[in-house]
Amino acid sequence: MLRTALLLAALTAIILLIGQYVGGTAGMAVAFLFAIAMNFASYWFSDRIVLRLYNAQPVDEAQAPELYRIVRDLCARAGMPMPRLYIIPSLAANAFATGRNPRHAAVAVTEGILRLMNERELTGVLAHEISHVKNRDILISSVAATMAGVIMMAASMARWGAVFGGVSRDGERGGNALALLATALLAPFAAMLIQMAISRTREYAADDSGADHSEDPEALASALLKLGAASERVPLDASPQTAHLFIVNPLSGHALARLFSTHPPLEDRIERLLSRARRR
């Protein structure tokens, strides 16, 4: 958690740096306030937005009895309330959790993953997603994604500032156009790397705590192995801005997406889980 806090602080620092280069002290204050406003919106509305984006359909116990039973048992073990459950009408195999806290959470699975997984593997996947909710990873990743988005917009403003000569600290013009342009070009790349580091850290943590909740690390390892192969065959039509939410990278069919993945390598995750199983 300390590493995550430091990475979020680094994202905040980048926002402030761009704000200062664009508009001096006043620009830094505006950038900071804008970041707060964007995070407030992300906190309250990100779950609705992402569920609507993937056309996720709510299901009740009568419609998905096995899914409900597994999630209810896992929540009882984890000591947390039952989340809302959704099914995404897609043959791609994947799943994600969203929501600002355990009392306002949702877990969504694709039709593809329900067809692909046996009960043991599905339990491992759902334990991973329940762990994201309990660990409040959804809030952390939403904040990171929002701040990265703010940096992208601010960097675009900074590039225009560089074109027109730049604005130095507290409104003095000239002499800083090159520094402003360098900041505008490097900041989005730095923000992307930081967001990736946050997402990868939280994925490892969810694997570990998910294995604890299910008491079956081999099941999650088996599920990840299947998901890796399935996502190559049938990648999900997903937005890069929400790729970090899924249990495996939905964009893994694209070479560039693999290079800048928000997820740790599947091989590493599987090996960690199997090592955990051997120690039991």
Angstrom distance (rounded) from CA 274 to CA 220: 9
Task: Name the packing angle between helices 177-214 and 217-233 (round to 10°).
Answer: 130
Angstrom distance (rounded) from CA 219 to CA 237: 26
Strands (E), the chain: 57-58, 84-88, 95-99, 105-110
Q: Considering 61, 119, 121, 129, which one is annotated as catalytic?
A: 129
Is 203 a residue of the active site? Answer: no
CA atoms in the 13 A half-sphere facing the CB of 174: 0
Classified as helix, coil or strand, 82 is: coil
Contacts of 52 (CB under 8 A, 6+ apart): none
Q: What is the DSSP string of 6-23?
A: HHHHHHHHHHHHHHHHHH
In degrees rounded to 5, what are phi and psi of residue 88?
A: -95, 125
Q: Which amino acids are annotated catalytic?
A: 129
